[in-house]
Amino acid sequence: MSSVERNTKGDGRYWRSLNELADAPEFRRHLEREFPAGGDSPPAGVSRRRWLQLMGASMALGAASGCRWEREEIRPFVKRPEGHVPGVPERYATAYDLSGTGRSLTVTAFDGRPIKVEGNANHPMSLGATDAWAQAAILEFYDPDRNARVLLREQAGQRAASWDEALSCLRAAIGTAREAGGAGLAILAEPDSSPTRARLQVRLREALPAATWFEYAPFSDDQCRAGAVLAFGRGARSQYRLGEADVIACLDADPLGHHPAALRHARDFAARRDPDRGPMNRLYVVEAGYSTTGVCADHRLPLRAGHVPTLASALEQAVTVLLDGKSPAAGDTDRDRFVRVLASDLVEHRGMGLVVAGPNQPAAVHAAVHRMNQALRNAGKTVVYTALPDEGRPTHVDAIGQLAQAMRDGQVKTLLVLGGNPVFDAPADVAFASALARVPESFHLGVYNDETSRACRWHLPRAHFLESWGDVRAYDGTYSVTQPIIAPLYGGKSAIELLAALLEENPPGPRQLVRETFQAVGGGASEADWRRTLHDGLLPESGGRPLELFAQPRSASEPELAATSGDGGFELVFCLDPAVHDGRFANNGWLQELPDPLTKITWDNAVLVGPATAERLGIVHESLATLARGGRSLDIAAYVLPGVAEGSLMVTVGYGRTAAGHVGGDTVLGVESVGVDTYALRTAEAMSVATDVAVSVAKGRYRLATTQDHHAIDRVGAAGRDARVGQLVRATTEEHYRQHPEFVEHVVHTPELKSLWAEKAYDGHRWGMTIDLSKCTGCSACVVACQAENNVPIVGKRETMRGREMHWLRIDRYFEGAPEDPSVAIQPVACHQCELAPCEQVCPVAATVHSAEGLNDMAYNRCIGTRYCANNCPYKVRRFNYFNWHKDLKDARNEVVKLMYNPDVTIRHRGVMEKCTYCVQRIQAAKIEAKNAGRAVGEGEIQVACQQVCPAQAIAFGDLADETSAVAAGQRSNRAYALLAELNIKPRTEYLARIRNPHPLLGGTPELSDDERSGHTG
């Protein structure tokens, strides 16, 4: 294991990949090409000759049809709904459930069609923010692959059927089961926080007492629940108050990333990362691979997931000893030192600290954490406990195992699967698919005709949350109603509709079902109460009350906190994927193309290994590795990622779908799967960590579409950049910052900058942006938000490999320090709207020019595609349409996709350059509204898409001419600096330097000291 000190000290050199650090030949080859391999190749598919022929023909056609464009029709409403103004976007509050936790949203509808999702600013768990998954819901909603209708599997394959057929078949099966009190009927549901579903579940149990109900999701909080039972004698949910915590210790936990309350956590955490606003918090993370939380850590200890229990045990001992006033056992390894410092920091900040354990850790770790939080008097302050909505349910692993056993034993005559995709994601040793084959009558209610639907006799299309009534409870218990924004596109039904149809011949409508629940949960009886909840998107004060819980001392029956993996060998850790989640979003192109926050892989998954482990295994980057376990094996590309704990192999799940659709892979359609299905190695007893994995090098190489080395310039330039990354990402420690508040100014000293051109004066609005590197967690929600707002296309894996990705906002990730244990810097980069923009000087047709408010405008219809501007852009944020990415829209199958686009933003055609516009359509809309009302545009009235979605509020946007605006205050602050300011391009976007808060005993040396890297050369 490498040194913790090195982690914080570093040598000050930043790098983007191991190849770059080692100056590997591949990287050099990559650099020496002006464009990535194939980047300068002509459009594939159509030969030039054929293209000219086609063009000739279409010109002739164009001439024949006259010079006017298409005849358009205006079809007004017959009776326009009151208050509706055609073309004016409307916003509605709604909510959706992801893996058993509700999330409150506001959805923008344009002429009745949802086009954009935002968080609900009134909701305590969102505060206006969303994650990438919610942002991508729009694409999922319009996905033509959802158009499956009711399907019945027969000998020849699936055939279209009707809801009437399906329901009568289902009712007949239930009628048979009813005679036996429900025996023979089993329901497998995905976890869902819906109180209406819970109510119907109770009614079903009353009607059919012998029917069985199981719940399963591949990732659950079962261990957290079991840990609470160990500690408190009952289940409880921990609600963290990260904003109150001065010291946060995460044991294989990711409260800022994969956590149902991550949005709120990120907001609270980030609020304590601004050194100019009160004391900063300090974050310690122990983890095997990098999580979002690990990226933000002040101290990160890479440790095998299987070794975390022993560390937790050592930490508990050290805390106990310190609380007793004694000094903890001395030890000299990095890990001992880490534990000692962390324990003393926690004890020092008693009542203001917080220890968090992750869902991958066994129950005993959670129990130890509960005891520590109590002993440290954190409980009740930085962590409060609320009741579980479904206390006492069996664990998901047990449930799926019991169900599969019952199916194999022939006890299940009728199976109804409500959501989820167990055929794909159940533990491999449960052999769910083969058990399902024994069930005579099976139904799957799913958004897609997926693996489970194809294995069941019936596929029932499920209504998307944007087109159905429902209700949810957020992580804190707050009740919200899901209201449909549009009528079901493909005739789907929601889970509650289907359940109600089972209970009654003529069930009440879904709205009525939810309305009844609303009254039952205390929402009030009046129509006004109901309407207020619909409007606000939540029922206030409906969250869970804090419980007074007391953690029992460790009982003798409690399992020992022992390492679950040995020192030798390897452990294989299964993680949720930051893009496709558990596989459910595999057919979502926005998420598939979203670069992983750390690896920057798109359109794939890989096994992540640390450099030392890779060396031990003989694995090189992008080689194929064979992972074998219990008679099952798979070949997967290896990605050598710095900072992965020695002996750990990390894989994310959700790839390798065989029935996802045209994007994620489909064997019936002949679409190759994206990535590799790693569920194949996941078994019931090793849901999070498998220790008995055999790894060998497979033959062959595999190219991953990573975006991390894109836009690297030539060797001379790269060397210059390497020397300069410290200037690009300016960071220091809090201590150093307090002593040298003006440190950012001294990173680069340049001679007086003189402009070659007459500088323009700006007397109106001056739009500007700040991005706070102290707050940004790299969660990437902004990338998808930008894509949804600005009609940014996806390009696919092949074109991404050629550097043709279209994201207007990219997130640069740099490593610093030793490869085994580096620290990470994250920097979102979009167009900086330079006042003296280099791109504008080289455009031969004035397609990119400056506006009076300082925006670097792009006139798409003028652009002739020379790409000079992209070449001359120092930030490399301009994106070129090498193809007509929207060509597919002409396909009749994709007719519905046209409804998805933001009508306020032009769809760019092939041969046109594009880039971030500061969401100029939002600026113009706000300006017109304000001017019509005869007032000025107020501060905060314009929120750009990336800013609005950011859970950490790292992005500020506004008018620099307004002294009181947040962005003006940000740019005045000590931490503000402009990227490449020495080029005298006067960017409007500025960064706020990253300030960390390391513990002095763990190497609080500034990452950047004045004498080491001062830039006093200029």
The nearest distance, CB 923 to another protein, in angstroms, is 8
The nearest distance, CB 471 to another protein, in angstroms, is 31
- Rounded Cα distance between 156 and 10, Å, is 63
- DSSP summary character for residue 305: G
Cβ neighbours around 97 below 10 Å, total: 24
Nearer to another protein, 88 or 716 (CB): 88
Classify 477 in phi/psi space as left (phi over 0), alpha (psi -120 to 50) or beta: left
Q: Are 517 and 195 in contact (CB under 8 A)?
A: yes
Beta strands in 524-664 (DSSP E): 571-575, 601-602, 607-609, 623-629, 632-640, 648-652, 659-661
The nearest distance, CB 3 to another protein, in angstroms, is 52
Residue 533, H or E segment: helix 527-536
The nearest distance, CB 905 to another protein, in angstroms, is 6
The nearest distance, CB 131 to another protein, in angstroms, is 27
Positions in the binding site for another protein (CB under 8 A): 66-69, 71-80, 85-88, 849, 851-853, 855, 857-861, 904-907, 917, 920-921, 923-924, 928, 931-932
Residue 345, H or E segment: helix 334-348
Q: What are phi and psi of 818, to 5 degrees?
A: -70, 140
The nearest distance, CB 927 to another protein, in angstroms, is 9
Nearer to another protein, 496 or 920 (CB): 920
Q: Are 630 and 735 in contact (CB under 8 A)?
A: no
Nearer to another protein, 72 or 324 (CB): 72
DSSP characters for 846-899? --EEE-TTS-EEE-GGG-----HHHHH-TT---EE-SS-TTGGGGSGGGGGGGG
The nearest distance, CB 47 to another protein, in angstroms, is 30
Nearer to another protein, 531 or 862 (CB): 862
DSSP characters for 416-429? EEESS-HHHHS-GG
The nearest distance, CB 76 to another protein, in angstroms, is 4
Residue found by looking up tokens 């680069």 in the block: 748
Reduce the DSSP state of residue 472 to 3 states and report it.
strand
The nearest distance, CB 857 to another protein, in angstroms, is 4
Beta strands in 344-421 (DSSP E): 353-357, 383-386, 414-418
The nearest distance, CB 889 to another protein, in angstroms, is 13
Dihedral sign for Cα atoms in the order 378, 381, 383, 385: positive
Encoding tokens for residue 126? 């969102």
The nearest distance, CB 66 to another protein, in angstroms, is 7
Nearer to another protein, 86 or 410 (CB): 86
Nearer to another protein, 274 or 857 (CB): 857
Residue 194 makes CB contacts below 8 A (sequence gap 6+) with 97, 102, 470, 471, 472, 473, 495, 496
Q: Are 663 and 588 in contact (CB under 8 A)?
A: yes
Classify 320 in phi/psi space as left (phi over 0), alpha (psi -120 to 50) or beta: alpha
Residue 797, H or E segment: helix 796-801
- Rounded Cα distance between 828 and 301, Å, is 25
The nearest distance, CB 51 to another protein, in angstroms, is 24
Nearer to another protein, 613 or 947 (CB): 947
Nearer to another protein, 219 or 808 (CB): 808
Nearer to another protein, 192 or 914 (CB): 914
Nearer to another protein, 175 or 934 (CB): 934
- Integer CA distances (angstroms), 733 to 365, 663, 737, 973, in order: 31, 44, 6, 17
The nearest distance, CB 878 to another protein, in angstroms, is 16
- Integer CA distances (angstroms), 96 to 462, 465, 472, 483, in order: 14, 6, 7, 10
Cβ neighbours around 539 below 10 Å, total: 22
Nearer to another protein, 329 or 852 (CB): 852
The nearest distance, CB 856 to another protein, in angstroms, is 9
Residue 141 CB-half CA count within 13 A: 30
CA-closest candidate to residue 366, choices 239, 559, 227, 225: 227
The nearest distance, CB 130 to another protein, in angstroms, is 23
The nearest distance, CB 830 to another protein, in angstroms, is 16
Nearer to another protein, 567 or 929 (CB): 929
- Rounded Cα distance between 589 and 739, Å, is 48
Nearer to another protein, 86 or 938 (CB): 86
Nearer to another protein, 147 or 921 (CB): 921
Q: Are 420 and 426 in contact (CB under 8 A)?
A: no
Q: Are 875 and 829 in contact (CB under 8 A)?
A: yes
Nearer to another protein, 156 or 933 (CB): 933
CA-closest candidate to residue 341, choices 309, 375, 299: 299
